[in-house]
Structure 1
C-alpha cells in the first residue's frame, strides 16, 4: 500500500511535491475499513499542468528499481528528465521517495540521480513503529544497517555500477529484507497509459476470461451497453471464414498467411446484444471504441481488486462514460469488492468525478488533488483537503468555478484571435477569387 510519493526536478515538477495518501477525515473512511491509506486518489488539472508528469515520475522510479541493473550501460550515465526551464536544475539531482505499508510494516525508500550517477539512496523500515536502517548510500559508498550482514552487502556493493540502484541488485541477491519493497515495484505497482487505443488482443482475452471471472460480464451488463452475453467460438479460417469475420476488408497479412499455410482454426470473440428477436452475436471489432476500451480496461481493474496492489491510470475517463468511470472507482471504495485494500490513483479532466452518484460522493474530501502550473512552467500539487471543504458542499461546481484552482484560464484574447483569424481568412479568400476572375494589366 502506497502511503506517499515525493518527487523533485522531474519534467515540469521543479521543487519537491508530495502526493500524500494517508487519510485526513476519519468520517470519510469507507465503511467497515481501517485502511492506513485512502483507496482512491484522483488528480485534476488543466491541460499541460503536470498531471501526466506526476504519473511519469512514479513510473520512472519503478523502472529504475526493477531494471536499472539491466538497462544501464557501464559509464553510460543516467537517463532522466530534469526540469528544463531553469538552467540550475540541470546540475541538480532528481529525487524520488516513497512511503509504503507492506504486510503491516512501513518502509521508506528513496534515491537521487543526476546525469552521471546515483548520488544518494536509502531504505528504512519501521517494524513496531521504530526506525531500522537497512542501508544508506552516498555515491559509491554503501553503509549497511546494523541488522544487515556487511559481508554479503559488500559483495553486492562491489558489483553495483555508479548508475545502477543498489536495491535493484541487493533484492536479486537474496537479501530478503529488501525484497518487500522491490517486489512492490515489480509486481504490486501497475500502470495503464493514456493512449491504449483499440487493443484487440487484451479485449479478446477479456472475453476468454469472462467464463472464469463472471464479474467481467456483470460489469459489462452494468455499463448499460446492451450486452447480454459474450464468448468465443472456433472458426475454420478459410477465405469464407475470413469474410465472415472481417467483412470485405480482410487484413492482407491474413490473406498471405492463408495462401502460404492454408486454412486454420482460430478463436473468434463475440459479444451478444439485445435485439427485437433475441440476442444477436456481433464481432468484437464491430463494437464501439468505448466498449472495446471497457473490455481492455476491466480485466486490469478487476485483477488488482482481487490481488491487491496499486493501479495508476493516466486519464481514466478516456473513451468511457463518466457514470461507468464512477462505477469503476466505486469498486475500490467498498471493502466488499476491494477485500485486499487495493488502491487506484488516476488523473482526469472530468469534473463530474468530484460530484455525487446515487447520493454518495464519488471521491471523498481527502481523495481529490489538483495540479497547477505557474508562469515559470513549474507544477504545484495540492490537496482538496487544504481548503477544509464542508462535507456537503458542491465540490464539482466549486472546482469549475475556480474555487480550488487547477482549471485553465482562457481570456478574451483567445476569442478575439479566432474572430480576427476568421475575418482575415475570408478576406484572403475573396482576394484570391477576385484575382482569378479579373484580368490583370500586362
Structure 2
C-alpha cells in the first residue's frame, strides 16, 4: 500500500509536496482491523491548480522505474519536466510503501544529464536497513545486500535507474517495489475515443468472469442495460452491428474480428442491443473505470483516476469510492486515489459520508504559479461539519478566484473590461481560516512522513 508520495520540481510543483495516506483520526476508522494506509484519497481544487500534475509526477516516477532500462539510450540524458526556470535543479520523487507487511522507502532524483541520486531502504522490525544508495556513479550498499545485486552496478547507465536494471536481471530483493509500481494503474477520465473502447472490448473478451461482473454493475447503476454479451460472427445481429460500426469508422474494421461486445438494453417494446461505441458518454465512463476497478480490487493494487467525476453522476462516483472503502468489497487492501471538481463528494450522498476527514486533499497555485498540495486536516475540521458547504464558501481555499465583472465582459464581448484585482473575498476567508487554525497548533495529518529521504 502507498503510505506517502513526495515530488519536487515537476511541472507546476516546485518545492517538495507530499501526499500522505496514513490515517490521522482513529475515530474515523472502520471497526475492521485498520490497515497501515487509507484505502481512498481524493484531491480537489480549481482548474489548472496542479491536481493532474501530482498524478503526472507519479506517472513519471513509474515510467522511470519500469521503462528506463528498456527505453533509454546511453548518453542521451533524462527527459524530464522541471518547473519553468528551475532547469538547473534536480527533480525528485519519493515513495513510502507497505508491501506484505514490510515497509520500504524508494526514491530518486534526476537532472537533464541523468540520475543524480537513487536509494532504497527497508525497515525490518522498525530498524532502517540500506539496500542501496547511489550518488551518480558512486554506489553504497548495506551489510545484507546480496552480491548479485551489487554486480548490477556495472551494467547501469548514468541515465537509467538501478532498480530498473536490477528487476530486469531478476534480482528478487528489488522486485517487491518494482512490481508495486508495475501493477499501479492510471485512468484519465477527461480523455477517450473509439480506439480506447475497442481496447476495452478486447480486455473484456480476454478476462474470464468479467462479462458477468460487468452485467451486474451496469444493472446496479441503472443504465438501462440488462446484459453484457458477446455476439459471434454469423449471428444476424452481429452482421448488422459490424455494418453500423464500419459505416462510422474511417477505413472500416479489420476482417479478422470474429466477436464483438454487445450491451442489451430494455425498453417498453422489448430489448435492443448497442455496441460500446454507440453508448452514451456516461456509460462509457463507467465502463472505462469498471475493468481497472475490478483488477485493482482483485489484486489489492493502487488505482489512480484523474477527473473521476467526468461524465459520471455523483451517485456512481460515490458508489465506486465505497467499493474501496468497504473491507468486505476490498479485502485485499486496494487503494483509490482520484482528482475531482465535484464538491458533493466532500459531503454526504444518499445519507452516507463519502470521504473521511483525512481522505481529503486540496491543490492551489500561488502568484508565481507553484502548486501547493495540502490536507483538509490542516483546518482541524470537526467530524460533523458540513465540508461541502464550507469548501464552496472558500473556507479551505482551493477554489477558483473569479472576477465576475471581467468574466461577464469576456463572454459578452464587452469593450474596455474592468481591471483584474488579485484580492478576493475567497482569499480573505481562507487567510482568516488558516490564521485561526494556526492558533491551535498543527493538525494530525500535517506531520510529514518519517520515512528516510536524503
Q: Secondary structure at the match of 1:254?
A: coil
Q: Secondary structure at the match of 2:286?
A: helix
User: Aligned partners of 1:338 and 1:411: how far apart in 2?
Assistant: 44
User: Aligned partners of 2:79 and 2:246: how far apart in 1?
Assistant: 47
- C-alpha contact (below 8 Å) 2:214/2:228 kept by paired residues: no
Cα distance 1:286–1:412, how it changes in 2: closer, same or farther (>3 A)?
closer
- C-alpha contact (below 8 Å) 1:3/1:100 kept by paired residues: yes
User: Aligned partners of 2:65 and 2:395: how far apart in 1?
Assistant: 39
Q: Which stretch of structure 1 is more off in the superposition, 388-397 or 406-415?
A: 406-415
1:272 matched to 2:269: no
Q: Which stretch of structure 1 is more off in the superposition, 66-75 or 46-55?
A: 66-75
Partner of 1:43: 43
Which of the pair has more CA radius of gyration?
1
1:358 matched to 2:350: yes
Partner of 1:107: 104
User: Aligned partners of 1:419 and 1:90: how far apart in 2?
Assistant: 37
Q: Structure 1 residue 240: deviation in Å?
A: 10
Q: Structure 1 residue 208: deviation in Å?
A: 4.0
1:221 matched to 2:200: no
Q: Which of 225, 229, 232 is equivalent to 1:231? A: 229
User: Aligned partners of 1:419 and 1:227: how far apart in 2?
Assistant: 40
Q: Which of 373, 378, 382 is equivalent to 1:386? A: 378
If the length of structure 1 is used for normalisation, what is the TM-score? 0.88
Q: Which stretch of structure 1 is more off in the superposition, 269-278 or 70-79?
A: 269-278
Q: Deviations over 1:215-266 (max 9, x none)?
A: 32221111111111120111339999357740793545338x67xxxxx773
Q: Secondary structure at the match of 1:70?
A: helix
If the length of structure 2 is used for normalisation, what is the TM-score? 0.85
Residues 116-265 of structure 1 aligned to structure 2 (within 5 Å)? 116-149=113-146, 151-187=147-183, 189-193=184-188, 194-198=190-194, 199-205=196-202, 208=205, 212-213=209-210, 214-236=212-234, 241=239, 245-246=243-244, 249=247, 251=249, 253-254=251-252
Q: Secondary structure at the match of 2:401?
A: coil
Cα distance 1:210–1:104, how it changes in 2: closer, same or farther (>3 A)?
closer
Q: Secondary structure at the match of 2:18?
A: strand
Partner of 2:398: 406
Q: Deviations over 1:149-196 (max 9, x none)?
A: 3x4344211121111111111222232211111111112x11112413
Q: Which runs of 5+ in 2 are unaligned?
A: 417-454
User: Aligned partners of 1:210 and 1:173: how far apart in 2?
Assistant: 29
Task: State the 4+ residue runs in structure 1 displaced beyond 6 angstroms.
Answer: 237-240
Q: Which of 388, 401, 409 is equivalent to 1:396? A: 388
Q: Which stretch of structure 1 is more off in the superposition, 224-233 or 365-374?
A: 224-233
User: Aligned partners of 1:237 and 1:278: how far apart in 2?
Assistant: 19
User: Aligned partners of 2:156 and 2:246: how far apart in 1?
Assistant: 57
- C-alpha contact (below 8 Å) 2:409/2:415 kept by paired residues: no
User: Aligned partners of 2:261 and 2:411: how far apart in 1?
Assistant: 50
Cα distance 1:195–1:243, how it changes in 2: closer, same or farther (>3 A)?
closer
User: Aligned partners of 1:358 and 1:240: how far apart in 2?
Assistant: 40
Partner of 1:306: 298
Q: Secondary structure at the match of 2:294?
A: helix
Q: Secondary structure at the match of 2:87?
A: helix
